[in-house]
Amino acid sequence: MLNKRYAPVMVAVVILLAVSMVGYTRTQAKTEMPVRILFHNNGGKVIFSHLVHHRNYKIPCADCHHEMTHAEDKALACGSCHPVAFDEHYVDNHIASFPDKKYCIQCHHIEYEHLIFDHDEHIEFAEDNCQACHHGEDIEPEPGQCKSCHEDKGDDDMPGLASAAHKRCQGCHEDMFEQGLTSCTSCHEAVDMSQYDGDFSSCGQCHNEHTKDLVLNRMNAFHDQCMDCHERKGKGPFGENSCFKCHIR
């Protein structure tokens, strides 16, 4: 009699327990998206309401996580691309921040393979004057290849291979060099970067700017992203006199 009396209670307890377990596991799956993020910096800590910006303001993920191309992509941490400082630690370890090589072409966007160069045509154009391209006999007794003396990375005494070759070519091909990077394919074969599986060149091989000028550090990236959005919408803190609205001292 006692068992029958408490049977409905026991069934209800089991059902509630099952429902709570399902709810718990689903909640765990959803906690991948952070509710709030605490940023530490010299200007004072910043509490960023991530869920409010995504859910209430309906800001698309790709507006901030600009490496995302599809809704199913997992957002990378800002520090994957935007470091606190471009020091040796970042250069040596940043690749570990990315799940696979497809992200590499976000920055290493192109590589050049074979040189399109017709030596016989250049001899004819130079009218057998080898010094038009090669050094004089005091430096180069016999015409040879640039890489015989110039290594990939140069120094104060000897310029690097790319720099030396470009300087030599520029004397005749001024029209190409005026076009900048858009003319590289006139002399070089571009690699299909979606299938690339080699070592990436340094930024300086094509860009004159330093890496820190090509990619914003973390503080500048946050300020640029946050304040530009606030200014466009005319809401929230932006401008030099609004620091205290975000930063907690």
Question: Does residue 123 sit in the same domain as residue 181?
Answer: yes
118 has pLDDT over 60:
yes
Question: Does residue 180 sit in the same domain as residue 233?
Answer: no
Average pLDDT, the chain: 83
At 28 the pLDDT is 46
Question: Does residue 129 sit in the same domain as residue 61?
Answer: no
Question: Does residue 175 sit in the same domain as residue 128?
Answer: yes
- DSSP-derived letter for residue 73 is S
Q: Which residue has the higher pLDDT, 27 or 190?
A: 190
Question: Does residue 135 sit in the same domain as residue 186?
Answer: yes
User: E strands of the chain, at which residues?
Assistant: 37-39, 45-48, 112-115, 188-190, 247-248
- Residue range 209-223: average pLDDT? 81
140 has pLDDT over 70:
yes
Question: Does residue 173 sit in the same domain as residue 229?
Answer: no
Task: Find the domain containing 145 and state its range.
Answer: 112-190
* Alpha-carbon gap, residue 203 to 162, rounded angstroms: 13
If we measure between CA atoms, which residue out of 194, 219, 165, 167 comes closest to residue 46?
219
Sign (positive/negative) of CA torsion 192, 198, 201, 203?
A: positive
Asked if residue 201 is part of any domain, the answer here is no
Exposure of 171 by Cβ count < 10 A (0-12 exposed, 13-18 middle, 19+ buried)?
A: exposed
Least confident of 16-25, 45-54, 153-162: 16-25
Asked if residue 64 is part of any domain, the answer here is yes
State how many domains the chain has: 2
* Alpha-carbon gap, residue 128 to 110, rounded angstroms: 35
Asked if residue 147 is part of any domain, the answer here is yes
* Residue type present at position 48: F
Asked if residue 163 is part of any domain, the answer here is yes
Asked if residue 182 is part of any domain, the answer here is yes
Asked if residue 24 is part of any domain, the answer here is no
- pTM higher than 0.85, yes or no? no
Question: Does residue 184 sit in the same domain as residue 146?
Answer: yes
Q: How confident is the model at residue 152 (pLDDT cuts 50, 70, 90)?
A: confident
* Alpha-carbon gap, residue 97 to 106, rounded angstroms: 13
At 123 the pLDDT is 87
DSSP 3-state assignment of 245?
Answer: helix
CATH number of the domain within which 128 lies: 3.90.10.10
Other Cβ atoms closer than 10 A to 63: 12
Contact 67, 81 (CB under 8 A): yes
